Amino acid sequence: MYWIFSGSDDMTGRIIGLLGSPLSGGNTARLLDRAIQGARDAGCDVEKVVVADLDFEACKETMFCTEHETCIMDDDMQAMYQKFREMDGIIIATPVMTMGIPGKFKSFMDRFQVFFMAKYMRNRSLVAREKRAKRKGLLISISGMNIPGVFDGVLLTVRAFLDIIDCQYGDELLICDMDTIRDIDTRQDLLQAAYDKGYALGKALNT
């Protein structure tokens, strides 16, 4: 399977825009779309992946990936493994749910045990060495509440996921108090911040 992008060449940074929210038109999604626009304006090819639209099950611990470079579960994750090997960067966008990330999004990350086993158990990362050196991630996360540590769960999980897929934690946009803000469209400054961070990531990956 190959990365499908129109007009892409070897020098063009390939970014995945990963939406973890169950809402495809919610506040997280709108922030992600701005960040994606920024990365595209910086010259990158960006593919948006909406976890809520994927058909897959949670990791069943079959342990097939202890010896194989994929999972025995034949579902939408198979295509994800290839995309996540080939990408140069990622924008992860997620709301805080029960002080962590949404359940289906967590299951999505758990299925990258395929990458974990290759990297840490067999000492043979699925990501090519030259890509490993430059892959970067941007995290966009929003929470309803404005309390200390509200992003701690998200940060622990996202940092672990980025380690597993051989991607540096590059930058973040953490927006709390969405219960007060309610509609992100009323905060053009925050949407602009998402655009700017997406643009910066795109520039960093296209040099």
Ligand X SMILES: Cc1cc2nc3c(=O)[nH]c(=O)nc-3n(C[C@H](O)[C@H](O)[C@H](O)COP(=O)(O)O)c2cc1C
Task: Work out how close the CB of 22 gets to ligand X at its nearest, in angstroms, rounded to a whole number.
Answer: 6
**∠110-116-122 over CA atoms, to 5°?**
150
CA-atom Rg of the chain in angstroms: 17
**H/E stretch holding 86:** helix 77-86
Determine, following the binding rule CB under 6 A, whether residue 180 of this chain makes contact with ligand X. no
Q: Which 56-115 residues touch ligand X, going by CB under 6 A?
A: 95-99
Placement of tokens 């053009």 in the chain = 188
Task: Work out how close the CB of 24 gets to ligand X at its nearest, in angstroms, rounded to a whole number.
Answer: 9
Task: Work out how close the CB of 196 gets to ligand X at its nearest, in angstroms, rounded to a whole number.
Answer: 20
Determine, following the binding rule CB under 6 A, whether residue 157 of this chain makes contact with ligand X. no
Site string for ligand X, 111-150 (x = CB under 6 A): -------------------------------xxxx----x
Site string for ligand X, 17-36 (x = CB under 6 A): ----x-x--xxxx-------
**Residues near ligand X (CB under 6 A), total:** 17
In angstroms, how far is CA 85 from the centroid of its own chain? 13
Integer Cα distance of 90 and 6 in angstroms: 19
For the chain, report the end-to-end CA distance as a whole number of angstroms. Answer: 26
Q: Are 13 and 202 in contact (CB under 8 A)?
A: yes
Q: Which residues of the chain form contacts with ligand X (CB under 6 A)? A: 21, 23, 26-29, 95-99, 142-145, 150, 178
